[in-house]
């Protein structure tokens, strides 16, 4: 449940930035989508690590893994949002679809890879 709450808050930050860049500043959709996703990086990392997974994994390793996942997710987000927008469904629908897909795969990536604690360190 905490994962979904944290993810919902992260989605609102990301969507708000996307709307600001696209609708207020007039940026192209691909740039607005990518920039919003990347700028929400630290908020999402912090809320997932501290609140959702209460992980004690070292920040250095976790943030490197998280950054790799963000790079993959950024490309996926841009591709999904642009593809759905191209169909006429709109960029908001694309963002929702991208978020649902990422919610599923990110849960497992966070739990078993990004925020997984080293068993040797947890016993010490």
pLDDT at residue 123, as a whole number: 40
Average pLDDT over the chain, rounded to whole?
Answer: 89
HEC string of 16-45 equals: HHHHHHHHHCCCCHHHHHHHHHHHCHHHHH
Taking alpha carbons only, the member of 69, 70, 83, 98 closest to residue 29 is 83
pLDDT in tens, 6-49: 988 988 999 999 999 999 999 999 899 889 988 888 888 889 99
Higher pLDDT, 117 or 25: 25
pLDDT band at 121 (very low <50, low <70, confident <90, very high): very low
d(CA 44, CA 38): 10
pLDDT band at 122 (very low <50, low <70, confident <90, very high): very low
């Amino acid at each position: 449940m905490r994962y979904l709450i944290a993810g919902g808050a992260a989605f609102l930050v990301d969507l708000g930035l996307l709307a600001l860049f696209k609708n207020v500043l007039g940026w192209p959709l691909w740039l607005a989508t990518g920039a919003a996703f990347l700028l929400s990086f630290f908020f999402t990392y912090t809320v997932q690590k501290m609140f959702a997974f209460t992980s004690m994994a070292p920040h250095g390793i976790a943030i490197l893994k998280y950054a790799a996942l963000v790079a993959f997710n950024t490309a996926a987000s841009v591709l999904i949002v642009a593809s759905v927008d191209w169909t006429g469904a709109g960029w908001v629908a694309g963002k929702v679809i991208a978020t649902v897909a990422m919610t599923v795969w990110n849960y497992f990536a966070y739990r078993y890879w990004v925020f997984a604690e080293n068993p040797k360190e947890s016993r010490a």
